[in-house]
Amino acid sequence: MVLCIQKTMNLPDYFKAVTDPRVSGRIKHKLIDIIGIAIIAVIAECDEWEDVADWARSKQDDLKKYFELPNGIPSHDTFERVFSLINPVEFEHCFIQWVQSIFGSKNTFVHIDGKSLTGSRDDTHGKKMLHLVHAWASEQSILLGQVRTEEKSNEITAIPELIAMLDLTGSIVTIDAMGCQREIAEKIIDANADYILAVKGNQKSLYEQIQKAFSHQTIENENKTEEKSHGRIETRVCRTITNLDFAEETAHWKKSQSIAAIERTRLIKGKETTEISYYISSLKRDAAFMNQAIRAHWSVENQLHWSLDVTFGEDASRKRKGHQAQNFATLRRIALNVVKAYKGDHRSIKRRRKMASYEFSYLKKVLKI
């Protein structure tokens, strides 16, 4: 079995560490076959278990070259049952190991943000909505890892867990206001990385001091950008200060070296709105760099979350039994990384998935096998 996205890397092998949850003696299909087929079927535009099984049966002759399949293709019930039982934490850890082995650990910008899977909520059985915290490398457009938290408010405890899983050496980590905590800043520095954290009302004293500093101190550096798109004009002015004497609260934040303010002015259909956001950072860089880093954070929403909802139908998914929602979410993220990494054409993610479902030869190119 050789399924790789680089010549020396075997994708399913990274998932051999997943514990088989099934009863010994009643197993017809190898766990690694089930996981491997599910991964490539999701790449090939299969978003439901029935689709996975139907597509695999249609490609059985091709799949036999890469999987043992002692009893043919598993049924959709088997895929569903196995992925409802697989330990999702083990599955996610294997995913992270695969990402770091394939894509490397050198990422200039790593953006941490959360996403709720609205379809995972089941009020009838008292099941809360699944919320995942992501680490997104914007330059490579690759998801580095994720951890689960029951609610968005629990991101504060989930973020340090995610940081501990990743090799962030030399990276610049950006997080929105939910993650603006001194303990999280310390974790990032201890991981040999730097931080840019959005500051809002949850850090009231810090927020007020930064706001006052920009009102009373001399601006040390300024950068202005303008973007025009779909009838909207957005102007962003970034201002930075490295003299933190008038923001004494910053002394409690490990290795803090600067504060930044981003003034966003949007003109849409003749209506103009302006908002100002504040940041604390361990970096001492010019305003142009800070403007770029903070702007890049929104690629989590524009490239990752949008793709998962629109191209993979994540929000519409109603997988709720057992660990299905979390494990299928991991399958989507594996597929998204693989499809995004393919540089053989200029098709969209949606069209690449569709081509992979039609032509096994195209799928082999995407997987580099």
Nearby residues of 270 by Cβ (< 8 Å), 6 or more positions away: none
H or E segment and range at residue 64? none
Q: Running along the chain, 369 residues long, what does each successive block of 10 average in pLDDT?
A: 46 87 91 95 96 98 94 97 96 91 79 87 68 93 90 84 94 95 98 97 95 94 91 93 94 98 92 95 97 94 93 88 93 94 94 97 92
Residue 235: closest CA among 223, 245, 243, 227? 227
Residue 5: closest CA among 338, 353, 247? 338
What are the Cα distances from residue 358, in Å, to 44, 46, 55? 8, 12, 10
Q: Residue 232: what pLDDT?
A: 87
What are the Cα distances from residue 334, in Å, to 34, 175, 270, 325? 15, 23, 42, 14
Q: Residue 1: what pLDDT?
A: 43
DSSP per-residue codes, 84-150: HHS-HHHHHHHHHHHHHHHH-S--SEEEEEEEEEGGG-BGGGTBPPEEEEEEEETTTTEEEEEEEES
Q: Residue 20: what pLDDT?
A: 96
The side-by-side arrangement of strands in the sheet containing 130-137 is 142-149, 130-137, 109-117, 172-175, 194-199, 271-281, 258-268, 232-241, 221-229
Q: Residue 152: what pLDDT?
A: 66
- Alpha-carbon span 134 to 221, nearest angstrom: 31
Q: Residue 2: what pLDDT?
A: 45
Q: Residue 229: what pLDDT?
A: 79
Tokens representing 344 are 């053989």
Q: Residue 124: what pLDDT?
A: 60
Furthest CA-CA distance within the chain: 74
- Alpha-carbon span 311 to 332, nearest angstrom: 10
